[in-house]
Structure 1
Amino acid sequence: MGKTAYKKLKGSQSFRQRLLLATLSSTSILVDDIRANESWPGLRPHEVSFLRLLEKICDDCKVEVNETGTILKYKPGTVMGGRNLAHDCGVSRSIGYFLEPLLLLGLFAKKPLTIRLKGITNDSNDPSVDTFQSTALPILKRFGVPSEGLKLKIESRGVPPLGGGEVILSVPMVQNLNAVTWTDEGMVKRLRGVTFSTRVSSQFEHAMIYSARGIFNRLLPDVHIATDHKAGPQAGNSPGFGISLVAETTSGCCISADTAVSYARSEATDELEDLEKKELTAPEDVGVQIASVLLGEIEQGGVVDSTHQGLLFLLCALCPPDMSKVRVGKLSPYGIETLRNIRDFLGVKFVIKPDPSTGTVILKGLGSGLRNLFRKVS
């Protein structure tokens, strides 16, 4: 056996994405200087949890971390997938943080993946599990991922600071993805959404729906927002409420926005214990805010919203070496970081061309040709 050559990286940015691309491209990485100069140096709990998750779904992957957590050596193994897996995501980031990489790893696994994830289902930092259901899964179908076996089931909900939610994710294997030409965002034809509440009155949901509909019904008639009030064990361990909205267009695009309201995480309130008793944002204001955010996303144009730019670029980069062409709104910081990581790990560069007439950006590029060698050709 020869000595492992490590790709050297610095810092904690794009931690999850670097590990994802290192695994898919079979690149060993050495990351140093992880928050070395901060008062709390090293890996955060959610990053350690993500490493544990990789160890669960991969065979023969090696993870080495130094005592202070500021240096990580990662040697990827074979993505095995498998059924009846379970992982506790903890409460420092929501389940949405773990879902995007899991979707992509599951596609190229040795066996179909079914995994139960526990933790926070809805918060204001990461995309909610509802948004994954309504927006991320349809994006995968565009690239030739079969509907059969692609599912996200919400068993119970959990909000910060104590979580308590559970979801089951199922991802089928593919031999390879299909390159896409996806530049027509269409016009918004209907609006769908879901509100949720845990350990608070269901009236909070009706207030959010009423205020959101007050804005949308002036613009289009087909607006339907469902309610999902959880009680008992299905309501997790903390009180909270939230809303996830998705605008469906005539060309089949889904533009989404979501938010959740709950008490601040304990880490954020270490010095200010009395913050536990602070007033939460009124549900009427939450409805108006999220409606405004969604209208802003629609106004930007593009076939996906700013949250899903990273997922779209990754899927394009993992396609066969055919030309993919997609239109997005203004590039988000996460989207730009994703393009850099794709270039570094997969050697894929996109031609980026602004379209001044619409204020959107068109990206064209050849995929890296990643194939799932375990999937038999039918």
Structure 2
Amino acid sequence: MFDVKKIRNDFPILNRKVNGRPLVYLDNAATSQTPQQVINVIVDYYSNYNANIHRGVHALSQEATDKYEQARKKIQEHFNIGKSHEIVYTSGTTHAINLVANGFSSFLKQGDEILVSAMEHHSNIVPWQMLAERTGTILKVIPMSLDGELEMDAYEQLLSDKTKLVFCNHVSNALGTINPIQEIIDKAHEVGAAVLIDGAQAAPHIKSDLQALNVDFYTVSAHKMCGPTGVGMLYGKEEWLNTLPPYQGGGEMIAEVTFEKTTYADLPHKFEAGTPNICGGIAFGAALDYMNAIGFESMSEYEKELLDYATEKLLEIEGLKIYGTAKDKTSVISFNIDGIHPYDIGTILDKLGIAVRTGHHCAQPIMDFYKIPGTVRASFSFYNTKEEVDILVEGVQRAKSMLL
């Protein structure tokens, strides 16, 4: 049985107060909170076996190396990845996307086409714009509907033998929409295009089977799923990772270095230059252990309850409009109230101890599509409660009464 009160006891930050009121943390799409079980792993690393990895023969180095590589195995098992060397540790999703974009710039040419969805985070737009500028590649956009769903008929019409790469988020960070990525992947592969899926927002809510999806690249950030900041992963099919050139040069990613020529290490080290976030990688594995112990199916069902409850309660407020009403969505609600700037609502909510996000959420094209300056975004996790939803609704009502 899902016991949210017991789960909340694992998160020390949920006991603090903000502006004299109990914290109501509803900014989980930006970053999730970290349970004590993961914090303990971080403390243990720095207290007992802090050392550089892969290169040392001493005991601490070997222990750190073992735990770091064990975490890679945990990532492999969680996402059902065929080979552990298809997992590249990164600093997060942004780093992972730039790694792939940089690699593709080596063999895309003028007139080639790449497709991006209209609901991407800036991290899955800007690197590809930079790629297009370098190579003469044509960037095309998959349009979206007013409900916040991709127009799949238009997507099919955009695909052609010129299409080399398609990139799309699994879940929209601004709207919560769950995109039909299996269809997107299958249709792209029919024309010979590779597919990169930004999984940053999906990973906290959906346990994806990457072999079943047959996706070429998939990215994740640990801090979205109870882990630390500054670490994430790029999954890439072995044949693609072997094809792409290294993103960075330095130590660890080499096989042999002379002043005449350098040869590169085998996967995944070819893409892991320099000293990595060792503690972060180990803690990433611990975060996956923690979430899997609770169970993704149970968490997803509970978060759906929160989403439905919050949607119903917020829509009772006159003048409130929700942006993103897709049939399939995760626990994200973006909304505005007629006549009030979202920043002003967010500021008042903060005074009440309620943490939400305001603005364009690094998805400015979505806001331009709706012709709005931004939204208030409340994003829920499995440790939130219906009581917190009630506090949010009361806070929004209070903000409305103060600002209108």
TM exceeding 0.5: no
**Where is the helix percentage greater, Structure 1 or Structure 2?**
2
* TM superposition score normalised by structure 1: 0.26
**Where is the strand percentage greater, Structure 1 or Structure 2?**
1
* TM superposition score normalised by structure 2: 0.25
Which entry has the higher C-alpha Rg, 1 or 2? 2
